[in-house]
Structure 1
């Protein structure tokens, strides 16, 4: 149990448990990511003036104490604890990334590149998305990614949830590989792909409370990933 909801009887600080062997995250699980119950929330200020970090930040703080391998498929992420801390990024890796303009940058987070493998998707060839990140200093932004698939001039749109981007990663260069098996179950045809990056804790909270203050939850403009053809 990593997250402590705001609507609890206790006002004492929550101390997370020691690192577990595995962490399984289902980003479509409404019971876990439930802003209405107070379990999932952005950064908040309590009535006694304390600042409560966002749920996404609390998860990151729990994970950053160990090093993990990540297996990402559709809305599920399985993290396996390797025990030791992450090897620091070498100066050569950092300097090579410094010359890259990147896709977008916000706070200590920069998306260096994003792309897909293959142009045809079928049962034997699932869609794969690779993301390459650079985190510099203490992380303060935790992007969620959604994949938007459109066809028939965007009349028909499907949104697939990836969830948090590399919540276990600390400072340095980090690569994610996301398998999108759900894409092969779409009706056959040609689709355009866009990656959407959002501050999901704010988005979910504003949708529940109805008070966004006119603030956008998108962290960048939609990122075009080209086209794919879905075959049976």
Structure 2
């Protein structure tokens, strides 16, 4: 059965963990406390259940339909990254064996959430035709250092817990700004006879008769 594909015939897989909550089964073995959202008004909760790691195929377009390819239950002593690596390797090898991916096709894209160690997964799956895309954690700060408050009185969002991180694949930005003296505003485009105009200083502005009389009275 053919799998959904994106533009160019590329397969896109997603890996995630979904809990099967069983708070009413006190005698069930190997249950874990699953971190869930949306079941309390002000905070998340920990509910006993079994977490399942699954691999699914994404469909293009504005749809939420997915095709589940495999699911593995996580035990109390299982390493989530090791289980995910074995699950992804088995799914990709089966897709190649049944002809869903052939030589010359685009690499299979695997999308993961911020909780996965994408760097480790990319290393252990380097022998497979896959590309991993992971979401960056919210506490990663990839920007220039925050300016001192004397130069930036409006402030800004400081880093939470992480230091400034530089992406090796992106071009580095400019050096941190230094305080500059305010420049007079200029016109948007140069004039044919007068060039780029700027407002004159207040001391050099032509004085009206009323302003001249006030200056002489002083």
TM-score, normalisation: structure 2: 0.20
Whose strand proportion is higher, 1 or 2?
1
Which is bigger in relative contact order (C-alpha 8 A, separation at least 6)? 1
**Higher CA-based Rg:** 2
